Chains A and B, each alone.
Chain A
Amino acid sequence: ETGVTQTPRHLVMGMTNKKSLKCEQHLGHNAMYWYKQSAKKPLELMFVYSLEERVENNSVPSRFSPECPNSSHLFLHLHTLQPEDSALYLCASSQGTAIYEQYFGPGTRLTVT
C-alpha cells in the first residue's frame, strides 16, 4: 500500500448504529487530519492530530470521536449520527510544520439513514 488509504470506501448506517472509519498513511508523516466534504460546501476541517496528540477540534459534535493510536493510523468513531452527517469523509496527512502540504486519501462515502 502506498500513500493514504481509507476503509471502508462506502458505509451505510442507521442513526442508532456505531461504526468506525479507518485511515492509514504510509508516508512517514507526523500529522493527520479528518475533513468532511458535503455537497455544495467547502471542505470542513474536523480534527488535527500532531505526533498522536489532538491539536485541533473545530467544534465537531461529540457523536464524532477521533482516535490516533500512532502516527500512521487515524480512526473516526461514529455513533448516533444524523442524516445531515451524510458526506464524504477525507483523511489527510502531512510532514513538518513549515509547509502544510497535505496528502489525501480517497475518502469514505457515508450515508446515514
Chain B
Amino acid sequence: EVQLLESGGGLVQPGGSLRLACAASRNYAMSWVRQAPGKGLEWVSAISHSGTSSYYADSVKGRFTISRDNSKNTLYLQMSSLRAEDTAVYYCARDRTLGTRPHDAFDIWGQGTMVTVSS
C-alpha cells in the first residue's frame, strides 16, 4: 500500500523560511493542502507528475515554491516570508490519475506535518 510521509515541520519566526518534504509517488501529480487549527482544508499548491508545471493558491503565490525530485521520490514545499496565518498542518496528497497534470481527486494523503509561525 502506498503511503506518503511528510517531514520538515516545526516552529519558525514570522518572516522566516522552512522546507517541507514528502516521500511521494513518482508518476503522479501531487499537491500540498493545509489545515489551520480548528479550520477547514485549504489547498496550497500542486505540481505535475514531471515537475514541469506548478500551480499556487493566491494566498501563497510568490512566497512558496513547490518542486519535486523524482529520482528521490520526494516532493518539496519551500516556504518563505512566513506569516502567522500560515500556521497549519500541511498534508501532501496524491492526484488519483497516473501521469497527468493535477486535475483529479486526492486519493492518498500523508499524516501531515505541523508548521507553527510565531515569535
Q: Do A and B bind each other?
A: no
